[in-house]
């Protein structure tokens, strides 16, 4: 474990449910011999107590701009200057707004306005609050002012049924960002300098897909047999929804064409809900043009040729078993990938297989006309169908990349970051081909 020799951090705690994670952050910083002074906003008191914070820091906890004893002993200006780094976590929408506006109406904002030290802001809030234009303007202003932004992460919120971009990044990521901003031991200090905002994977530029349109399909399709029965599969839609959130986080306008799932609509994403494969193809075509198209849906390969208009009644014996004539569903990935006009510059398909995964994915890459295929093993033992984790292989004309097991949110972040970085190459190639 690295130590931060003679380093001092001021932690400004905002009033959000994620404030409890700051207790672990303090403990881990103290393990690394960092002196931590904490400034708590009035709202933070509703989530953690100054007593708990003080016990971990072994320091006075600062709460009041007009506390005579605090101002006499150290003062907000000394707090602002007598440190190597100021960390704001969790940074709520209100706190971000006051920072961007240059307010100094409490101890926290006064310290931030008076400091000449680096500031690391770690936002956490409801996804709709994060995607709100006012919040995004405030974040853009803080970045322009040289403030380092870390996160937020993608995932489930404390509120039931809420998911998207807004979670506080995990404590190890915050520690990594602190290390890069103030340096650790001699090895860390000898490391090559990084760009000002490159503090972690979670802090990638959030505007790299601004002005771009990303089309994503997700979930299963339901192909009717009669009014109460249908052909379907076990897809939960979690991977496609995570990709939609990751794309929106990078600034894209996102259209998510979703089959029947129980997931809430991601914040800042245009969701088109469909049921059948034919409806999904129609919605995908209607959403064009797009710069990137990701076909993560598990589309049923077949449908009943002539669904019954009334419920099929159970007969007696083998003669009473209905005979279902099946016909092939439209191939959405292949249809979009082979468009002569309005084809997205980068077309990404998914291959869910239970055997000879890579071989099937290679054939699919060639047959479908996709640029990339993301292949994953959905055998029952993997737990991928309906689960929260995934192990994928990314196939392209350049070869194959095997990614380690990670959460579906992380797969989504990595995939969209890679797609954003490679988009210009595919745009150039598409233009040349036309």
- The residues carrying an active-site annotation are 233
Residues 39, 248: Cα–Cα separation, whole Å = 33
- What lies within 8 Å, CB to CB, of 410 at 6+ separation is none
Report the run of H or E that residue 149 belongs to, with start and end.
strand 148-149
> Which tokens go with 261?
């799932």
Instruction: Report yes or no: 376 and 392 within 8 Å, Cβ to Cβ.
Output: yes
Q: Give which of 349, 365, 368 is closest to 397, Cα–Cα.
A: 365
> Cβ–Cβ contacts within 10 Å for residue 261, how many?
17
Strand, helix or coil for residue 82 = coil
Handedness of CA 239, 244, 245, 247 (dihedral sign): positive
> Which tokens go with 393?
């292989």
Render 219-261 in DSSP notation, one character per residue.
Answer: SB--EESSSS-EE-----SHHHHHHHHHHHHTT-EEEEEE-S-
Strand, helix or coil for residue 288 = coil
Residue with tokens 């599969």: 233
CA 230 to mean position of chain CA atoms: 33
H helices within 115-193, ranges in order? 127-131, 133-144, 171-182, 186-189
Strand, helix or coil for residue 8 = strand
Residue with tokens 């380093």: 7
- Determine phi and psi for 13, rounding to 5 degrees: -100, 120
Q: Give which of 37, 47, 36 is closest to 14, Cα–Cα.
A: 47
Residues 240, 257: Cα–Cα separation, whole Å = 9
> Which tokens go with 205?
């530029």
Handedness of CA 421, 90, 98, 120 (dihedral sign): negative
């Amino acid at each position: 474990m690295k130590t931060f020799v003679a380093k001092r951090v001021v932690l400004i705690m905002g009033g959000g449910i994620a404030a409890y994670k700051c207790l672990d952050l303090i403990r881990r910083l103290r393990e690394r011999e960092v002196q931590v002074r904490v400034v708590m906003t009035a709202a933070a008191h509703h989530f953690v107590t100054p007593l708990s914070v003080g016990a971990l820091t072994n320091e006075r906890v600062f709460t009041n701009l007009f506390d005579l004893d605090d101002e006499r002993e150290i003062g907000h200006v000394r707090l602002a200057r007598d440190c190597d780094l100021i960390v704001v976590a969790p940074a709520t929408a209100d706190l971000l707004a006051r920072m961007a506006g240059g307010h100094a109406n409490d101890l926290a904002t006064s310290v931030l306005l008076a400091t000449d030290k680096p500031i690391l802001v770690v936002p956490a809030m409801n996804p709709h609050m994060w995607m709100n234009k006012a919040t995004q303007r405030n974040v853009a202003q803080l970045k322009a002012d040289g403030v380092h932004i870390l996160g937020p992460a993608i995932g489930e919120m404390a509120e039931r049924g809420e998911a998207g971009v807004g979670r506080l990044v995990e404590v190890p990521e915050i520690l990594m960002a602190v290390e890069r901003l103030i340096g650790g031991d001699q090895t860390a200090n000898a490391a090559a300098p990084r760009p000002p905002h490159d503090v972690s994977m979670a802090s990638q530029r959030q505007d790299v897909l601004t002005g771009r349109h990303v089309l994503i399909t997700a979930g299963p399709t339901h192909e009717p047999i009669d009014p109460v029965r249908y052909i379907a599969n076990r897809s939960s839609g979690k991977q496609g929804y995570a990709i939609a959130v990751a794309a929106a986080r990078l600034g894209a306008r996102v259209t998510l064409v979703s089959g029947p799932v129980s997931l809430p609509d991601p914040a800042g994403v245009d969701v088109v809900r469909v049921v059948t494969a034919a409806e999904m193809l129609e919605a995908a075509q209607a959403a064009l043009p797009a710069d990137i198209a990701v076909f993560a849906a598990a589309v049923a390969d077949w449908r009943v040729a002539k669904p019954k208009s009334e419920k099929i009644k159970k007969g007696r014996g083998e003669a009473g078993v209905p005979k279902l004539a099946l016909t092939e569903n439209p191939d959405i990935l292949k249809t979009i990938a082979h468009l002569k006009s309005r084809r997205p510059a980068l077309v990404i398909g998914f291959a869910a297989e239970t055997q000879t995964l890579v071989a099937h994915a290679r054939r699919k890459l060639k047959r479908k006309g996709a640029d990339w295929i993301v292949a994953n093993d959905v055998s029952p033992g993997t737990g991928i169908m309906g689960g929260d984790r995934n192990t994928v292989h990314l196939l392209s004309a350049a070869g194959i990349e095997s990614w380690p097991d990670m959460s579906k949110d992380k797969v989504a972040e990595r995939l969209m970051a890679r797609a954003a970085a490679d988009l210009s190459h595919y745009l150039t190639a598409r233009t040349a081909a036309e």
